Structure 1
């Protein structure tokens, strides 16, 4: 099928945590014979911070962040068998969801793909006239990268015909064990951009943990932290491109994951970092959230912390031998159950079933 996918960016992970998710899924769908065109705006300096060049498995259309350019790419939705509008494009989101679904052919499959369901739902639930909310009943599918039963119930309660989580996963060709790199040496490494609904949890799980262990080395990667007061044992390195994520994850004793407030509250929302760390065979310490057991087993494949003191105790007591065993167990579990090949197979089946339903609808009409 010809898939027109309107998202934030396939080429850059700069202020764009969904990049790895898009790449893993769309690459697998292309391998299954689908023709993917990804439309991304030239916005937020992402084109200046590309992690990859346009891949052979997708056509990437970068358009100017202007209304006229947006309207031009919206019109191209009419060529596709599957039209996807993702959340968080960042420019013209309302116009895009209404425009591409209006431009789509009657026999096309219409999908809203939410990569931040808690935030989206918080925005549209109190707003009956929101563009996305008005569009929901006309869509064939809402797909989300997490959220589980609470998100499914919320979307279907707002009029979505069907909501299905397609969780984050691992692409073993891009995230895998590599030799350690002195640039990323540390006892606990943490990679995250500074966002308002994560900052308090970062203070608790990372900054307080570092304060508890002044003799241990903490490494922080990501944008926006330059003016945040921190203990002297935290070293900041700014944006880390995806090509360096493997080394970032393998060059330390353990890697930390901290969910944003909304993700932690909803649960069932494993971050991309969880799968990247596991794919590299890193020992992961994560904050606690409902649904974690669907992906990793506490104490054997992942270490779980309820606060900064727990994180500090994990780091203090962790030996290199145990860290290695946990990392290897996590990698085996994720490779067996949570790869993008598995997620791509799920989506491929969904698309084929929806195509049959749309055809039947056309015959009946």
Structure 2
């Protein structure tokens, strides 16, 4: 159902409708851009969204009539989304598109239909689902990189400011910062390596083995523990008994196969596990180092005292805004609020160590 006006539209209405039309066109083009980078089901979903946007375009074109031309320009935000879609076509764009759909003005817009407002709410959920798929595809190395860089920024800024506040020489602060960089990066790398390897080993230890296939032909038909094997894996008494008899060769069981190992099932081998752990460790080392070097830069370039502290704080603040914004986009939250939160946490930790450094410097002085 479309909305009709009983009189000629006002200048304010024409301006507002043209903006809506431009944004609907931009959103449709965004979904088409994303669809070119997808295949199968995801491509069809995005093309379906693009088609739905055409219905909304038609609504505003009908209301505007001759005022629909020349073609209005979309908002900067929609233009930015389309540009990002051309370059990345990734989770970042989907997360931003999700926020764009959630900010629809149609809920309060009397010239829009209820169906249009409902469509936008549904579109948000569709994009949320697609973005969730993309988030799941993010590698552990990428997450380790983001959080490794953030840890390097905060920990080494706190160290540098705490040491610098004591009034020691520029060379001592510089060497302390480099030592903190190396120690933190090695600790992050070692922890990531052990974490990934331990997880792989725990998962591998929990996997059932092929022993039931090799040992079954030698067990006693009446006194055997195969029944207990499948009970331990979670099967019911009946399923476990049938599966045990099948392994012995009495008959083929049609019981629940999900708790029985397929002989063709692939296992993560030792080399692959080592590669995963090594990749996560290297990623953590490099990105922690990249973050930790930033507060040291002013001292590397010869600054000392308060100017060095100010420059280190500003540089780290900018980097924290970037990493916080990225985390916000990935989590589907507001990049701006997450960036400010990251900045507040980082500067807060640095402020505490700086005050402690001043106190120690006063006591030692």
Give the TM interval when normalised to the shorter protein: under 0.3
> Which fold has the larger relative contact order, with Cα–Cα distance below 8 Å and residues 6 or more apart in sequence?
2
Q: Which has the larger radius of gyration?
A: 2
TM-score scaled by length of structure 1: 0.20
Q: Name the structure where strand makes up a greater proportion of residues.
A: 1
TM-score scaled by length of structure 2: 0.20
Q: Name the structure where helix makes up a greater proportion of residues.
A: 2
